[in-house]
Amino acid sequence: MTHKLIKKFSLFLLFVGLISPVYADPAQKTLIINDSKLSVEIADTPSSQQLGLMHRETLDPNHGMLFVFEEPQKLCFWMKNTLIPLSIAYIDQNFKIIDILDMQPLDETPICAKQDAQYALEVNQGWFKLNNIKIGDLIGISK
């Protein structure tokens, strides 16, 4: 019983430690997934989330966009006006990857997470595979 309580409390502290830097400086952060570093723009307002990566012709290697929502929810993304092929990782409130999907340029078909997610991470298509990042991996934020 005590072990479960300690584990839950540790996860809570991990979550608080990871999420607080996201809200401190919304411009840009460095994520660490396994041994890979990824520079991300933070989309944490309705307008920045709506614009996303639309109208861009390129996305630098090891760069992406992290969409931050206030609470876990059913998330769906599409590629309207998005010119580059992307991969998206849906992430839960504990910063664990729960889904990784590919998205094609200009495709308006909704690409939805299989379960509630609090974050979505868009990167160049194939980045997760290239870096051996899989469902279940945890994401950290560099200070």
- The residue with greater pLDDT, 37 or 1, is 37
Domains of the chain, residue spans = 2-141
What's the mean pLDDT in 14-33?
A: 63
pLDDT tens figures, 49-80: 999 999 999 999 999 999 999 999 999 999 99
Q: With 80 as the cut, is the pLDDT of residue 22 above it? A: no
For residue 113, is pLDDT > 80? yes
Closest CA to 44 of 56, 20, 27: 27
Q: In the prediction, which pLDDT does 142 show? A: 85
Would you state the pLDDT for residue 100?
A: 99
CB 26 within 8 A of CB 66: no
Q: Are 33 and 137 in contact (CB under 8 A)?
A: yes
Q: Are 82 and 1 in contact (CB under 8 A)?
A: no
Kindly state which CATH superfamily the domain 2-141 is placed in. Answer: Protein of unknown function DUF192 (2.60.120.1140)
Question: What is the four-CA torsion angle of 40, 44, 47, 53, rounded to 10 degrees?
Answer: 20
Q: 136 exposed, middle or buried (CB, 10 Å; 0-12, 13-18, 19+)?
A: exposed
pLDDT at 19 exceeding the cut of 70 = no
User: Is the distance from CB of 119 to CB of 91 less than 8 angstroms?
Assistant: yes
pLDDT value, residue 135: 98
Q: How high does pLDDT run on average in the chain?
A: 88
